[in-house]
Amino acid sequence: MSNTQIIADSFPALHQTIGDKRLVYLDSAATTQKPQCVIDAITSYYEHDNANIHRGVHTLSMRATKAYENARQSVASLLQASRKEEIIFVRGATEAINLVAQAFARPILSVGDEILITEMEHHSNIVPWQLVCEQTGASLKVAKVNDDGSLNIDSFKELLTKDTTIVAFAHVSNAIGTINPIREMCALAREVGAISVVDGAQAVGHIPVSMSDVDCDFYATSGHKMFGPTGIGCLYGKHALLEEMEPWQGGGDMILSVSFEETTWNNVPFKFEAGTPNIAGAIGLGAAVKWIESFGYDAMVQHEQELLAYGRDVLQSIEGVTLIGASEHNAGVIAFTVAGVHPHDVGTILDHEGVAIRTGNHCAEPLMRRFNLSATCRASISVYNTSKDLDHLGSAVQEAIRMLG
């Protein structure tokens, strides 16, 4: 962790105090802080290159188009997609999943078809499927989660049948950090002829993600959870599937020709990017990808796993603290409860100590019910955190117990 300070220095928002306490940011699963290079890329775009893309013949438009398409190439390389056309820019993972649900699933689903998800999904990987079930008459099946927070693979296999049309699951659980065996799950889905959709919002920027290795059909990401800006994310889709699909929104940039009699769709990926996109966001995301690559996933995984183990030890040594769903294969997410102190109160008291965590149901109500909880506290780690941050977390939790426990 020798270069930890250098890393933290490149994130300007981390250098502030909350009241008189140093900010300890442990809410990266909600959104990561942004390195200076990402902020600079967005500023520089607006200061020098701002123009609309894919249409102008003037210099600024060409520069903006190039930067936007370079960002697509960067994401494609990071995710090891086979070609950059497999990357569609969207608002975030939520929009990516909704795109698949509406543009891919809805036209092919009918009564008798099944969509398989898991108990640990974020609402964004539940509700789009409920909507499409309502629209088509398909039904939703839910694979169980074990007590340690890992997926019950037997339950998953059992529910995977010849009727399963789509299988959708998180790569990493946002609420408890479980890393799912997605390559195996995608292979199982393929065996029954089902299409796999992976919610990768919590994975990219933490663990290596390779489309060629995983061999999933769709993969959704959010830029702001991987050091990029909000309002931008990507949907990866296998080229052949994207080619088959109809557009989901109509507008400019997604057509080749328009007349009142007939309109011809543009090629993939532009077919799915109607209207002026979030150009600055994509460019910022491209810079975030470069930052991740310069840091390297090996160092990232090692740092976060060390901190995860350290943070679990810190919290477990406090009487009254219970870890929730601390599985063996876990990303840097620590979910916990404090005996006698409601998570909401823990959150307020921790904030007073300068420690930012998330409290509540983490948009994963079914998972909370699975653990008989209405809410938890969640500390989530990123590359810029240090063991000192987790020491602060521990002492702030002790303060909460002293006040209300």
Q: Which residues are catalytic?
A: 363
Contact flag: residue 239 with another protein (CB under 8 A): no
Instruction: Give 240 or 403: the residue with its C-beta nearer to another protein.
Output: 403
Cβ proximity to another protein: between 368 and 390 the closer is 368
Q: Which is nearer to another protein, 123 or 239 (CB)?
A: 123
395: contact with another protein by CB under 8 A: no
- Is 23 a binding residue for another protein by CB under 8 A? The answer is no
Cβ of residue 354: shortest distance to another protein, in angstroms?
Answer: 9
User: What minimum distance in Å lies between the beta carbon of 356 and another protein?
Assistant: 12
Assess 99 for contact with another protein (CB under 8 A): no
CB 163 within 8 A of CB 114: yes
Residues 198-227 that bind another protein (CB under 8 A): none
SS (H, E, C) the chain: CCCHHHHHHCCHHHCCEECCEECEECECCCCCCCCHHHHHHHHHHHHHHCCCCCCCCCHHHHHHHHHHHHHHHHHHHHCCCCCHHHEEEECCHHHHHHHHHHHHHHHHCCCCCEEEEECCCCHHHCHHHHHHHHHHCCEEEEECECCCCCECHHHHHHHCCCCEEEEEEECECCCCCEECCHHHHHHHHHHCCCEEEEECCCCCCCCCCCHHHHCCCEEEEEHHHCCCCCCCEEEEECHHHHHHCCCCCCCCCCEEEECCCCEEECCCCHHHCCCCCCHHHHHHHHHHHHHHHHHCHHHHHHHHHHHHHHHHHHHHCCCCEEEECCCCCECCEEEEEECCECHHHHHHHHHHCCEECEEECCCCHHHHHHCCCCCEEEEECCCCCCHHHHHHHHHHHHHHHHHHC
Please identify, among the stretches 13-21, 188-196, 219-227, 324-332, the one whose residues bind another protein according to the rule CB under 8 A.
13-21
Asked whether position 175 contacts another protein by CB under 8 A, the answer is no
Nearer to another protein, 157 or 342 (CB): 342
Residues numbered 116-145 forming contacts with another protein, rule: CB under 8 A: none
Size of the site for another protein (CB under 8 A): 21
Q: How far is the CB of 361 from another protein (least distance, A)?
A: 4
Residues 72-91 within binding reach of another protein (CB under 8 A): none
Measured from the CB atom, the residue of 290 and 358 that comes closer to another protein is 358
Contact mark string toward another protein, 335..374, x via CB under 8 A: -----xxxxxx--xx--x------xxx---x--x-----x
Least Å distance, CB 347 to another protein, is 8
Q: Which is nearer to another protein, 188 or 363 (CB)?
A: 363
Q: How far is the CB of 123 from another protein (least distance, A)?
A: 11
From 8, 14, 18, 301, residue interacting with another protein (rule: CB under 8 A): 18
- CA torsion sign, 101 to 359 to 152 to 308? positive
Question: Contact between 322 and another protein (CB under 8 A)?
Answer: no
Q: Which residues contact another protein (rule: CB under 8 A)?
A: 18-20, 340-345, 348-349, 352, 359-361, 365, 368, 374-375, 403-404
